[in-house]
Amino acid sequence: MPLASLRRQNLLELLRQHGGLSTKDLARHLGVSEATVRRDLAALARQGLLQRDHGGAFLPEAEPPYAVKLTQNPSQKEAIARRASAMVPDGATVILDSGTTTLALARLLAGRPLRVVVLDVALAQALAQGETEVLLPGGRVRNGFYSLVGSWTEELLSQVRADLFFLGADAFNPEGITNHTFEEAAVKRKAMAVSQRTVLLADRSKWGKRAPAFVAPLNALHLVITDLEDPTLEALVPVEVVGETL
């Protein structure tokens, strides 16, 4: 077998083991240059065997479509959103992450006297009414998922000072919070850095799983609002458990 083909098989096996890796980590594991890894990633992406993100790659089956996400655990998401909305005082400056749980929260906050920075254009539409001031930090819209990503988003976020950041997650486990794309993960980290408190909103279906891009350790959070009762989670971070909204 040609050396390049063997190396690419090993690269795919690394992605299967880790869920997703940066170009730098792939180069280290394979013992080759980052330029070689980028060529391999381009070749494998053309074959549909992986998906590239800025700074790395992951396997293509990782993320469900947005329309599917909307149908998953709606009553749990509503209950989580209601508890989160009760934490927000009038006059606060809040950052809302992209996602379907934060969309439920946006609908509850809409019209209140708040300043809300949104990382998702769908949330902006839901919020823009009454006394709510909505700010979009620019950047590129991730097609099909509506999140804002890229250096423009991060640069404009760096000028914000927020009281609360409501963080969404594709997955979380004792090792930390993870996301399906490296670009979204970078925006989430920037939002955490400019906020006094970060609260994770995640239903039980996200627990114990891992997505390709690392966001932050659990101890970086001030609170998790979830429908999950789990002693392991509660030993790592403050947790508020909610019931379903019927």
Q: Which helix (H) or strand (E) holds 41?
A: helix 34-46
Of residues 74 and 137, which shows the higher confidence score?
137
Q: Is the pLDDT of residue 129 over 70?
A: yes
67-241 CATH: 3.40.50.1360
How far apart CA 205 and CA 191 sit, in angstroms, is 24
Asked, colleague to colleague, whether 3-58 and 67-241 share their fold, the answer is no
Torsion on CA atoms 117, 121, 127, 130, rounded to nearest 10: 90
Query: How far separated are the first and last CA of the chain, in Å rounded?
Result: 58
User: Residue 172 has which token pair?
Assistant: 């979380």
- Write the CA distances from 155 to 141, 186, 212, integer angstroms: 15, 11, 24
CB hemisphere CA count around 107 (13 angstroms): 12
Mean pLDDT of the chain: 91
Residue type, 27: A
Chain centroid offset of residue 191 CA:
11
| Contact yes or no for 200/221 (Cβ under 8 A) | yes
For the chain, what are the domain ranges? 3-58, 67-241
Q: How confident is the model at residue 18 (pLDDT cuts 50, 70, 90)?
A: confident
How far apart CA 235 and CA 242 sit, in angstroms, is 18
Q: How confident is the model at residue 246 (pLDDT cuts 50, 70, 90)?
A: very low
3-58 CATH: 1.10.10.10
How far apart CA 158 and CA 170 sit, in angstroms, is 24
- Phi and psi, residue 188, nearest 5°: -60, -45
Torsion on CA atoms 34, 139, 168, 189, rounded to nearest 10: 50
Q: Is 189 helix (H, G, I), strand (E, B) or coil?
A: helix
Chain centroid offset of residue 23 CA:
20
- Find the mean pLDDT for residues 102-109: 97
Q: Is the pLDDT of residue 74 over 90?
A: no
Q: How confident is the model at residue 19 (pLDDT cuts 50, 70, 90)?
A: low
Q: Is the pLDDT of residue 61 over 70?
A: no
